[in-house]
């Protein structure tokens, strides 16, 4: 097929969208067709290569279940998730910069990842979601405010992470239930505090088609240590982000490209003794502080 004939096919496919009444859907699908056809032509794609791609995508879908999201993992490891997050962040930041009364920009977002589990237990401030879990105890505290510096009361922080060995509850065999997950609400001054563990680095799941792709690309599979936070309240743009220990390996080569400098925080180590909340610990522990900023909703 000549280049002219290829372009004829592209034009023909695009014409089939003439009757589409959803303008945004038409815009997106038109771009998908143009770019996909351009890819075929650019690399002179062979039939067996395209069939291999179809089989790969089929296996990605078949690997998904109620606790595993291989499609999200594929999006994350190809950097698509962070491109989408980055565009949304740019929109939020532009609005904040246009607001001359704003004193802060919104906290940077990053990928949700494949291990989010909706419906984690509601916990009182100060509760320990890391009790009995592998890993070093860590006390997290800080505030949630808007971009004008006003505290946001009753703001939900939905927190989750892997354990000290980098394993999430969803990756464990059997019915282990939710581990290292909890939802906390800020007090009337926008403050939060809770206990968990200091997160450690870990490899993404490598036993599926995405793992095969990573190996074939010659990449390492590791994510730096991080704890997830989904922060939201009525009247504000919801935020999904991570907090990364500054001493974690792989900060400069996160397999899902999710690290942002503004999300790196020190985890100060302390000997056994009295913690900031008055709790007495018989083993060393860490403290980490971070203040979140949410953009007001339009």
Domain covering 73-294 assigned CATH 2.60.130.10 in the classification = yes
Q: What is the pLDDT of residues 51-72, one digit of tens each?
A: 999 999 999 999 998 888 999 9
Residues 6 or more apart in contact with residue 258 via CB below 8 angstroms = 76, 81, 82, 110, 111, 113, 223, 226, 242
Four-point Cα dihedral 264, 135, 165, 205, nearest 10: -50
Q: Which residues of the chain have pLDDT under 50?
A: none
What is the model's pLDDT at position 22? 98
Nearest to 116 by CA among 195, 206, 178, 201: 178
Ranges of H-type helices in the chain:
3-15, 23-42, 47-63, 70-77, 80-98, 209-217
- For the chain, the structural domain boundaries read 1-45, 73-294
DSSP class of 128: B
Model pTM?
A: 0.91
Residue 8 — left, alpha, or beta (φ > 0 → left; ψ -120 to 50 → alpha)? alpha
Q: Two tokens at 131?
A: 């009790």
Kindly report, residue by residue over 188-246, the tens digit of the pLDDT: 999 999 999 999 999 999 999 999 999 999 999 999 999 999 999 999 999 999 999 99
């Amino acid at each position: 097929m000549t280049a002219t004939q290829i372009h004829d096919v592209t034009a023909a496919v695009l014409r089939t969208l003439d009757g589409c009444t959803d303008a945004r859907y038409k815009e997106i699908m038109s771009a998908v067709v143009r770019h996909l056809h351009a890819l075929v032509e650019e690399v002179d794609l062979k039939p067996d290569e395209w069939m291999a791609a179809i089989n790969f995508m089929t296996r990605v879908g078949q690997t998904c279940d109620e606790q595993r999201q291989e499609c999200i993992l594929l999006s994350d490891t190809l950097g698509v998730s962070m491109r989408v997050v980055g565009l949304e962040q740019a929109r939020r930041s532009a609005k904040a910069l246009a607001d001359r009364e704003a004193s802060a920009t919104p906290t940077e977002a990053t990928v949700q990842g494949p291990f989010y589990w909706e419906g984690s237990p509601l916990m009182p401030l100060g509760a320990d979601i890391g009790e009995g879990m592998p890993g070093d105890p860590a006390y997290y505290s800080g505030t949630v405010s808007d971009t004008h510096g006003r505290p946001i009361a009753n703001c939900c922080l939905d927190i989750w992470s892997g354990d000290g060995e980098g394993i999430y509850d969803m990756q464990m065999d059997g019915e282990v239930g939710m581990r290292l997950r909890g939802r906390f609400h800020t007090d009337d001054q926008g403050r939060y505090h809770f206990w968990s563990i200091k997160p450690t680095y870990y490899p993404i799941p490598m036993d599926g088609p995405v793992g095969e792709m990573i190996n074939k690309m010659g990449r390492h599979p590791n994510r730096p240590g991080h704890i997830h936070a989904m922060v939201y309240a009525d009247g504000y743009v919801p935020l999904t982000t991570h907090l990364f220990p500054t001493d974690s390996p792989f900060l400069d080569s996160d397999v899902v490209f999710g690290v942002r400098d503004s999300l790196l925080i020190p985890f100060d180590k302390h000997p056994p003794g009295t913690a900031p909340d008055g709790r007495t610990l018989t083993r060393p522990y860490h403290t980490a502080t971070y203040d979140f900023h949410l953009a007001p909703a339009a």
